[in-house]
Amino acid sequence: MLDLGWTELLVIGIVALIVVGPKDLPVLFRKLGQFVGKAKGMA
């Protein structure tokens, strides 16, 4: 899969926080987690 380190994940999280906003961030991560789960189930 993707080879992401802690620094890359931190940068992605900060960018997501700026773009989406702190109020909607948990909803975004929940939907992203559901998508990843479905993708793993299909593989």
Please tell me the predicted confidence (pLDDT) of residue 1.
Answer: 58
pTM, full prediction = 0.55
**Closest among 28, 31, 7, 6 to 17, alpha carbons compared:** 28
Residue with tokens 């987690």: 33
Residue 42, amino acid: M
Residue with tokens 């992605």: 12
- For residues 28 and 20, the answer to whether their CB atoms sit within 8 Å is yes
Compute the residue count for the chain: 43
Given a cut of 80, whether residue 7 has pLDDT beyond it is yes
- Let me know if 28 is exposed, middle or buried by CB neighbors in 10 A (0-12, 13-18, 19+): middle
For 14-42, what is each residue's pLDDT tens digit?
Answer: 898 888 888 888 898 899 889 988 988 88
